[in-house]
Amino acid sequence: MQDAQSASLIDVVLPVYNGAATIAESVESLLQQTITRIRVLVVDDGSTDATAGILADLSRKDARVVVITKTNGGIVEALNAGLSHVTAPYVARQDADDISAPDRFARQLATFEADPGLVAMSGSCIHIDADGRETGTRYAIPDPDAADDRAIPSVEPYLLHPFLMVRADAFAAVKGYRYVLHSEDTDLYWRLREHGRLRNLPESLGKMRLHGGSISNASLQNGRIMAIHSQLAAISARRRAEGREDLAFPRTALAEYKAASDLEAMIEIAGRQLDPAERDYLHTAAAVKLLELASGRLYEVDRKDCTYVRSVYASLSSAQLARNPIANWAYRATVKRLLNQRRFSQLKALLDVSVLSRTIRLRIAGA
């Protein structure tokens, strides 16, 4: 049992699955923090590579490394398993392939101490590739106060998840993560902001690895699920703000989503617990979100999705496009990308001259 003098100020929840190539470097970056009163709660989510041996060696060398071993159950289950072991007043996050700057925790703690109303924070980061080389790009930090649950698509109160720090009592108040598939972090932020302010620091807190193995890059099917659930998180936040019954996010829904053939079919599954106005919003917002996601991922929208997206955009007025700049931009960017890639089948399915001309006019007008 730790005494009051040595008890951790920060418990870090770090889930890992088959992370043998990067886990040691990631954990070492936490052990080298200028704030030393920490515990690193590493949740080994059923790894089948050399991860377990590496973690055992790390924990032997430094008692601050606590290994929690479980059968594979996915990111939400792993995160909540780690949270169940938290005893510190602050909870930090890190992924198994990312690296924290040595003074990350010191800067975050100082920010919390200066602002009692702040419940969660993150910041910018430097991007590195799979081999750890800096790419020359940085994460562009959004303003969580600009969140809008009615925009198309919703503007999330986003904090960079691998460098997140949260007051432990706020985490307890929202009861951890929910099965908002591939958008569990977004849903968490909508719920945390009901308990206090969120903030992103402008400076880099560490290095984030960009590679094709991440969930968001993995497949078009995962992209569709993320497009839908990121918007369900906004609808869920809207319901709570209005004092209405919240949405349910059962873990068992994943299999049904994965069996669906396209975005429209998935939206029909998601829409079962929504009222007509919410279903209309989801159809539009998820279609736009998929275009936005595909612009920065390793997958591309297929012909069937393009046909559906075209019908959604055709129903939007110029005023709606003007009020939602991401919708305006995402359509033009997708048309340009498909043309450059010579994906003429998808381009033909997506292209609507009326929509394109309206988005171009809005761009010229500065919308």
Per the structure, how many domains does the chain have?
A: 2
Residue 148's alpha-carbon distances to 117, 155, 158, 190, 323, in angstroms, are 21, 5, 11, 10, 12
Residues 225 and 192 in one domain: no
Residues 94 and 80 in one domain: yes
Domain boundary among 162, 191, 209: 209
Residue 3 lies in a domain: no
Q: Taking the complete model, does pTM exceed 0.85, yes or no?
A: yes
Q: Across the 367 residues of the chain, what is the mean pLDDT of every consecutive 10-residue run? A: 68 98 98 98 98 98 98 97 98 97 98 97 94 87 94 97 98 98 97 98 94 63 97 98 97 93 96 97 98 90 97 94 94 95 96 91 76
> How big is the CA angle at 73 (ends 60 and 168), to the nearest 5 degrees?
65
Residues 132 and 55 in one domain: yes
Residues 232 and 194 in one domain: no
Residues 6+ apart with CB under 8 A from 88: 7, 8, 9, 10, 11, 38, 39, 168
Which domain, by its residues, includes 245?
215-364
CATH number, domain containing residue 37: 3.90.550.10
- The torsion angles phi and psi of 144, rounded to 5 degrees, stand at -60, -25
pLDDT of residue 367: 58
Domain boundary among 185, 209, 233: 209
Is the CB of residue 201 less than 8 Å from the CB of residue 111?
Answer: yes
Residue 328 lies in a domain: yes
pLDDT of residue 3: 46
Residues 106 and 144 in one domain: yes
DSSP 155: B
pLDDT of residue 1: 38
Is the CB of residue 145 less than 8 Å from the CB of residue 120?
Answer: no
Residue 5 lies in a domain: no
Residue 260 lies in a domain: yes
